[in-house]
């Protein structure tokens, strides 16, 4: 016999967990279904543990910057406290008891297992069937994917999941993929004395960011001893004698470990989307401004294709919860989605890049201010690489995109995200008073460069 509930939430990543808890606190009967860890990828394998790694690597870098500035230093990297902190503080040894108790404490019913849609407003989990009076909310996220390289499937490579569980740093590391995950982890392991080479098929690193960001990271990485191979076509991969090999035609790169960071695939197969008229082979689930994918079906998070970020999933959860509860509120809007690559320097971006704006036939002009030329950058002296780039619509007189690259670039981004989100006139931004001497004061210089 089917169990009657108000809502079934399938997938308890950050957005799904938040939505299930909110709906339960609102008095609805909620079945929250999860086959892995409550909380999803972010707290166990991505956002939180990787930023602990970045923080530790940053401390080592700061230590190397002391000579000539504040005395002398001897740096001896030790991965043990990093691994211990991830295990003990971030993930509780990859145990989700605390998260599960938090969710059930709000009144949701936690159901362990794979959820499959078997009909409109109906979900099967093993031999249990749930009928949802209001509907189903999907938040199944994504999983690491590997490219179809000959031999790669037979190689015991790392993904981000294995990398954050590492108890030792490999002496050498090949990183296949120069996107966000690849560049962040490459720099982390390099700063812990691993010999690292990034292998990227495209013509530059972090291809979704401004070209200036790509070039900045290349320059910094090469200065730090990280190999950067772009336009690299990997023809085969192999593993023998404890060594990982990437074959680039006649050339072979070898290392003690291989990290594959070439993207992620949506977890849609086996979800039963055909039972509600949707295609499980699609790259994403299309949703409207209320996060509705079909009658009685909502979707949030990575599977919607609106940005694979925890903050997007949480934002969409709020929109979906309002709609499920029948509450009024604004529809989802994505013109000012912020994103941060936590390298050193940090790359914080919001809205459109210059190329994206031009692809949309928007008339734009740009302004760029190098951080080293700012007063705060000059004071910083070492570790001051970066810039601020603004993309202005000349028709509307507002910023449609911006990048803050440099020390605390993700934090400097806050001011620019507000400007893009509120569509603040650039004239008004020019009239602002920018604190001196700060990194964000370079925004004023970039605004002046729009007229150059």
pLDDT tens-digit series, residues 236-272:
999 999 999 999 999 999 999 999 999 999 999 999 9
Taking the alpha carbons of 342, 344, 350, 354 in that order, is the dihedral positive or negative?
Answer: negative
Residues of the chain with CATH 3.30.390.30: 338-450
Contact 308, 142 (CB under 8 A): yes
Give 410-439 pLDDT, tens digit per residue: 999 999 999 999 999 999 999 999 999 999
* 202-249 pLDDT tens trace: 999 999 999 999 999 999 999 999 999 999 999 999 999 999 999 999
How many other CB atoms are found less than 10 A from the CB of residue 1? 6
Query: pLDDT per residue over 49-84, tens digit each?
Result: 999 999 999 999 999 999 999 999 999 999 999 999
d(CA 412, CA 380): 15
Strands 257-260 vs 109-112: parallel, antiparallel or unpaired: unpaired
For 155-181, what is the mean pLDDT? Answer: 98
Among the residues of 263-347, which ranges form H helices? 310-325
pLDDT at 1 over 90: no
Q: How far apart are CA 321 and CA 221, in angstroms?
A: 43
Distance CA 247, CA 406 (A): 34
Q: Which of 163, 229, 181 is nearest to 202 (CA)?
A: 229
- What are residue 433's phi and psi, to 5 degrees? -100, 120
- CATH no. of 338-450: 3.30.390.30
DSSP string, 237-273: EEEETTEEEEEETTEEEEESEEEE-S-EEES-TTS-G
User: What is the average pLDDT score of the chain?
Assistant: 97
CA–CA distances in Å: residue 269 to residues 275, 310, 392: 13, 22, 41
CA distance 49 to 10: 24
Cite the residue boundaries of each domain of the chain with CATH code 3.50.50.60.
Answer: 3-44+94-144+265-325, 152-263
Helix residue spans in 150-251 (DSSP H):
160-164, 180-191, 211-224
Q: Per residue in 354-394, pLDDT tens?
A: 999 999 999 999 999 999 999 999 999 999 999 999 999 99
Binding site feature residues: 51, 115, 177-184, 200, 263, 302
Annotation: binding site for FAD:
51, 115, 302
Task: Of 127, 258, 147, 276, give the one whose Cα is nearest residue 201.
Answer: 147
Structural contact between residues 376 and 439, judged by C-beta atoms closer than 8 angstroms = yes
Q: Are strands 364-370 and 128-138 parallel, antiparallel or unpaired?
A: unpaired
Domain 152-263 part of CATH 3.50.50.60 = yes
Show binding-site residues for NAD(+).
Answer: 177-184, 200, 263
Pick the CATH number of 3-44+94-144+265-325 from 3.40.50.300, 3.40.190.10, 3.60.20.40, 3.50.50.60: 3.50.50.60
Each residue's pLDDT tens digit, 393-403: 999 999 999 99
Q: Is-above-0.85 flag for pTM?
A: yes
């Amino acid at each position: 016999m089917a169990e009657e509930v108000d809502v079934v939430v399938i997938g308890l990543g950050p957005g799904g967990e938040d939505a299930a808890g909110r709906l339960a606190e609102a008095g609805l009967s909620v079945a929250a279904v999860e086959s892995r860890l409550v909380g999803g990828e972010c707290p166990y394998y991505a956002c939180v543990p990787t930023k602990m790694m970045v923080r530790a690597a940053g401390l080592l870098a700061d230590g190397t910057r002391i000579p000539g500035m504040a005395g002398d230093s001897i740096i001896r990297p030790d991965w043990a406290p990093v691994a211990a902190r991830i295990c003990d503080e971030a993930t509780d040894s990859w145990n989700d008891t605390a998260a599960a108790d938090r969710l059930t404490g709000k009144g949701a019913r936690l159901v362990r297992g794979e959820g499959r849609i078997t009909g409109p407003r109906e979900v099967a989990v093993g031999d249990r069937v749930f009928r949802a009076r209001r509907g189903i909310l999907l938040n199944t996220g994504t999983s690491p994917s590997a490219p179809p390289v000959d031999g790669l499937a037979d190689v015991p490579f790392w993904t981000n999941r294995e990398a954050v569980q590492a108890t030792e740093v490999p002496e050498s590391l090949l990183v296949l993929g120069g996107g966000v995950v690849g560049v962040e982890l490459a720099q982390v392991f390099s700063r812990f004395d691993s010999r690292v080479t990034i292998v990227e098929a495209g013509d530059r690193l972090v291809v979704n960011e401004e070209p200036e960001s790509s070039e900045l990271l290349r320059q910094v990485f090469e200065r730090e001893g990280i190999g950067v191979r772009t336009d690299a076509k990997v023809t085969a991969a192999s593993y023998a004698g404890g060594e990982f090999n990437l074959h680039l035609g006649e050339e072979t790169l070898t290392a003690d470990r291989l990290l594959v960071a070439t993207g992620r695939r949506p977890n849609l197969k086996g979800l039963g989307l055909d039972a509600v008229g949707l295609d499980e082979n699609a790259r994403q689930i299309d949703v409207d401004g209320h996060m509705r994918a079909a009658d009685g079906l909502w979707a949030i998070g990575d599977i919607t294709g609106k940005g694979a970020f925890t903050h997007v999933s949480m934002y969409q959860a709020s929109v979906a919860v309002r709609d499920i509860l029948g509450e009024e509120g604004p529809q989802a809007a994505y013109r000012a989605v912020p994103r941060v690559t936590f390298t050193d320097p940090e790359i914080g971006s919001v809205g459109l890049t210059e190329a994206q704006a031009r692809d949309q036939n928007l008339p734009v002009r740009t302004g760029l201010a190098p951080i080293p030329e700012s007063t705060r950058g000059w004071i910083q002296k070492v570790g001051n690489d970066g810039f601020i780039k603004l993309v202005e619509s000349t028709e509307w007189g507002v910023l449609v995109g911006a990048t803050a690259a440099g020390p605390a670039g993700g934090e400097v981004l806050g001011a620019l995200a507000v400007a893009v989100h509120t569509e603040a006139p650039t004239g008004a931004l020019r009239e602002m008073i920018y604190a001196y001497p700060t990194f964000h004061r370079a925004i004023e210089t970039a605004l002046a460069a729009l007229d150059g």
